[in-house]
Chains A and B, each alone.
Chain A
């Protein structure tokens, strides 16, 4: 019997496997940030332990940081304290920190890949559920809690039960204006927010293969939104070309050896999956969510479902979600006025996302009723955008380019969507209050977000693209 990609990588990292116990899994790189690490460092101190492999630990400050005037001290006292604490802890335990002002600073799931730290075949963890992003390279990567952060700091290992394996295959040609974000929102709308729980999901099929690394990261990033332990995509030429030459990527002979290994990383023809799902790319419209979990998504031209279409025991939760969102049964989102547009987060803040948005908004201007925030995923993305002149295009369109961080994805800094306001957001969660107390989130792709910013209402990007074709 052949092996799945997931099992090949898992087996290569098992330190010890005992009947009745979870496996002890070796972790290649542990990413840490300011929010979920302080209690873990305290735990180490209480045990009198060092960080076991500080060189395999990478730290950055992202969740709390302001996205304006980063050169000034952080205004918010508790945020500043948490970021300072990270600096102190990293110094004490000998961990490299890409903190504010460092050229490598950024959202942890953006910097790992762009620095060549994330590579095919590796194991990566972080006290953040969107660690699944790194799986786009054909790696095992997942989020952990703070007790486990302490565990990995203390031992470079993690006790883990091997999950089941699911394959999700997407084949066919995407419509114009439909991209990776729409694919994953579509998949989650079909599986529900719990449909992947207990599984490691491998994405495959020619549609997935045709995606850039940025697109693949967007897909794997949101694996957790269907409950999956992690998501991964077998490495290929696209992956290898992306990693090549990056800051910490292997060089010379090491590189050749690494590539030879990476080429063995795929699921064998006869590999056995516990579940398999197939989707057609042609069926996917630009997607938007209407509810308070990412599984509550529809094609942008569709209507919000009727309460009665749900099972009786689910109707209460459904009504609560619609009431929170200020929507009603069968409402159409298309044309609904919005207040904010957020382009950012570890789902969609990479250079390719910004290029795509810039290309679209060039020569256009945002609607008066909308405030737009464009938040790059990292310092490197920000600098690249400036080098390419994207900041000028954004400025002219009323889309100011801010400084890197998690920002309005979770509203821990001052970038919060006000109560009752609607935000079309390229982030990954539309939970109640996620973007600020009582804020209302419509998750969508960068193109849908940009088009909605221009018109001031929820917009079908395909309409714009049709017009553009008529003109040209």
Chain B
């Protein structure tokens, strides 16, 4: 089965300069009762975005009409906590194609990559530059190129390269899927089982 293809994007960004954003904030547990992958975007950052009466909290960035774009930029250790893939689904379903942070939790990173959502890890300094750029001009545009593995703040031209596992890069740029890959090695699995 193929997954979403990602090669290159250039868009404005949504800044969320908070550290250690855990997956319970991204999608609270009470919204994990759905049995399909769709619709989680409505509850993305639910308790930061809406108050107890479901009214939008004006001071939260997703409710600020000045900020939009396909890249979410967040503080370090993004996606820590629960392994719920619903967090990656919610971010992608909301309309983001990439998340930029100076550090990602392991499981979140894997989940994002399995859903065509690109986690881009940058240095602390570069992260600060992006925040500075977007707080200076909320329409500041950032370019992410997966093929050549760089991220660029378009207005200033500042660029940093980022790492990505070569296998995962191939999957994302071609829309391959892990299960197809493992199934292509099925005879090795059978061999392993008999040798045990």
Is B179 an interface residue when CB atoms closer than 8 A count as contact? yes
| Chain A minimum-CB-distance residue to B128 | A313
Chain B residues, Cβ within 8 Å of A146: 85-86, 111
Residues of chain B within 8 A of A224, CB atoms compared? 81
- Indicate whether B106 reaches chain A with its CB closer than 8 angstroms: yes
Write the chain B residue with the least CB distance to A194: B77
Q: How would residues 150 to 161 of chain B score, 1 for a CB under 8 Å from any chain A CB and 0 otherwise?
A: 000000000000
Name the residue on A nearest B78 (C-beta).
A194
Q: Are B189 and A193 in contact (CB under 8 A)?
A: no
B147 near A: Cβ within 8 Å?
A: no
Closest to B76 in A: A194
B81 touches A429 (CB 8 A): yes
- Contacts known (A20-B166, A21-B167, A145-B84); A433 close to B28, Cβ less than 8 A: yes
Q: Which of A36, A159, A320 contacts B182 (CB 8 A)?
A: A159
A35 interface contact, C-beta 8 A:
yes
Cα distance, A154 to B192, chains bound together (Å): 16
A293 near B22: Cβ-Cβ < 8 Å: yes
Q: Which of B56-72 contact A (CB under 8 A)?
A: none
Is B163 in the interface zone, CB < 8 Å from A?
A: no
B69 to chain A, nearest CB (A): 22
Q: What chain A residues lie within 8 Å of B25 (beta carbons)?
A: 431-433
Q: Which chain B residues numbered 145 to 193 have a C-beta less than 8 Å away from chain A?
A: 165-167, 178-179, 181-183, 185-186, 188-189, 192-193
Distance between B18 CB and nearest chain A CB, rounded to angstroms: 5
- With A15-B188, A24-B188, A317-B19 known to touch, is A143 a contact of B107 (CB < 8 Å)? yes
Bound-state CA distance A432–B88 (Å) is 19
Using Cβ atoms and an 8 Å threshold, which residues of chain B touch A356? Answer: none
Q: With A16-B188, A227-B105, A431-B24 given, is the CB distance from A316 to B80 under 8 Å?
A: no
> What separation, in Å, do the CA atoms of A81 and B28 have in the docked complex?
19
Complex: A224 Cα to B80 Cα, angstroms: 9
Do B85 and A47 touch across chains, with their CB atoms under 8 A apart?
A: no
- Over the window 114-150 of chain A, the binary record of Cβ atoms lying under 8 Å from chain B Cβ atoms (1 yes, 0 no) is 0000000000000111000000000000011111101
Q: Provide the bound-state CA to CA distance between A85 and B36, in Å.
A: 11
Also in contact, A227 and B106, with CB within 8 A (given A36-B85, A145-B83, A317-B19) = yes
In the bound complex, CA of A358 to CA of B45 (Å)? 39
Segment at the interface with B among A38-46, A252-260, A392-400, A461-469: A38-46
Interface flags, B2-23, vs A, CB<8A=1, else 0: 0000000000000001111010
Asked if A129 and B82 sit within 8 Å, CB to CB, the answer is yes
Map CB proximity to B onto A180-197 as digits: 1 under 8 Å, 0 otherwise: 000000000000011001
Q: B residues within 8 Å of A by Cβ? A: 1, 17-20, 22, 24-25, 28-30, 32-37, 47, 52, 75-77, 80-86, 88, 103, 105-107, 110-111, 114-115, 124, 128, 165-167, 178-179, 181-183, 185-186, 188-189, 192-193
A contacts, CB < 8 Å to B: 15-16, 20-22, 24, 26, 35-36, 38-39, 42-43, 46-47, 63-64, 78-79, 81-82, 85, 127-129, 143-148, 150-151, 154-157, 159, 161, 193-194, 197-198, 224, 227, 229, 292-293, 295, 313-314, 316-317, 320, 410-412, 419, 429, 431-434, 437-438
Sort A-B residue pairs by CB-CB distance and give the 6 closest, nearest first: A145-B85, A145-B111, A38-B35, A78-B33, A143-B83, A147-B114
Q: List 26 A-B contacts (CB under 8 A).
A: A15-B189, A22-B167, A24-B185, A35-B32, A35-B33, A38-B36, A129-B81, A144-B83, A145-B84, A146-B85, A147-B85, A147-B111, A150-B179, A151-B182, A154-B182, A155-B186, A159-B182, A161-B165, A193-B20, A193-B80, A197-B106, A227-B80, A412-B30, A412-B33, A433-B28, A438-B47
